[in-house]
Structure 1
Amino acid sequence: MSNVVAAQERAKEAIKRQQDELTAQVHAMEIQLGPLEEQIATLGEGIWTMNLGLGPARP
């Protein structure tokens, strides 16, 4: 029984390490995503402004 418990503990520790690593990766990606979201918003405003000036699209 001791071997099983030890194996479970090792598995739990490995899972915890992987979770921590993935959490750190997600955090790093969120930091990189922030400026991109701002740029997308700015570009969207520019497109909206251009469409406003050009009027409705014609086929």
Structure 2
Amino acid sequence: MTPVQVNEWLDEYNDYMLLYNMFGDQTYLIEVEEILKSMEKYIGRMLMLEKFKHAL
């Protein structure tokens, strides 16, 4: 994962939230949830790597 990928996730999140607010379609919220899950996994991995680095 790269910072570029995180930026893409944030852009997609903003786009889907805008669409949801405009049209109220639950499909957009489902996409938002998937993006948030992906970002949570990514952050969890990054935190584990940081802990590992400090343990060495």
Gaps of 5+ in 2: 1-24
Query: TM-score, length-normalised on structure 2?
Result: 0.55
Equivalent-residue separation in structure 2 for 1:7 and 1:26 (angstroms): 29
Match of 1:27 in 2: 51
For the aligned residue pairs, the C-alpha RMSD in angstroms reads 0.5
Query: TM-score, length-normalised on structure 1?
Result: 0.52
Moved over 3 A (4+): none
Using the aligned pairs only, state the percent identity.
3
Q: Deviations over 1:1-46 (max 9, x none)?
A: 11100000000000000000000000000011xxxxxxxxxxxxxx
Match of 1:18 in 2: 42
Larger radius of gyration: 1
Question: Which has the bigger relative contact order, CA under 8 A and spacing at least 6?
Answer: 2
Equivalent-residue separation in structure 2 for 1:4 and 1:23 (angstroms): 29
